[in-house]
A and B are shown apart, each in its own frame.
Chain A
């Protein structure tokens, strides 16, 4: 079974430029997460989708960040314009969702996109 796929793996941009990240979750996983992870820190939730609905975006800096999951499958996270402080690893994760049969329901993470803003 294919895991969570993310692209690109690395991105270097200059500040004020736009950038986009793409994620394809595990097939059948209804819940999709975007996290930001700074060096030496744990992942911080940016946005959570249940199917195509954003159910938790309270931590998303909406002045510059946007996300979409139009058909409830893959998702795109965009930053425009990027700032120096946005340099981090952006992780996408998925779980089967509330309908999952396993109480365990751990998250499956993609490899992440390492963003460097110069």
Chain B
């Protein structure tokens, strides 16, 4: 089966840095996605990794290690508006290229 694990909840302070981890075990792999979801809203795309290494995008960075089945999302210079759930999603391999598996999400609380 498919298994994607993330911490349930994290708390960090405004201006700080936070790292949200995701580990996965899936039958196929063709990319890992991070989405942000504010309460009562739809998930929105944040980042994508398909090769090992770090992808940087402004205050957000995402890292992938395929051999370890591990990714993290790094948020720098935290702002109050970053309080949201962060979803890790894995896209399946060739035969199910457009199938995505989601973790349960990590609720991030940013405090002043």
Give A contacts to B, CB under 8 Å: 4, 31, 33, 40-45, 48, 50, 56, 91, 95, 97-98, 103-112, 114
Contacts and interface: CB of A to CB of B under 8 A. Distances in A.
Contacts of A4: 42
Interface residues of B, number: 25
A42 B105 contact: yes
Nearest to B34: A106
A98 B98 contact: yes
Contact of A109 (B8, B40, B44): B44
Contacts of A48: 98-99
Contacts, number: 57
Chain A, interface SS category: loop
B4 to A, nearest CB: 8
A50 B97 CA distance: 11
B103 A42 contact: yes
Interface of B: 4, 8, 31, 33, 40-45, 48, 50, 87, 89, 91, 96-100, 102-105, 107
A111 B104 contact: no
B98 A111 contact: no
A32 to B, nearest CB: 10
A56 B92 CA distance: 13
A31 B41 contact: no
Contacts of A44: 102
A110 B98 contact: no
Nearest to A110: B42
A95 to B, nearest CB: 6
10 contacts: A40-B8, A41-B105, A45-B99, A56-B99, A106-B48, A107-B43, A107-B100, A109-B43, A110-B42, A111-B42
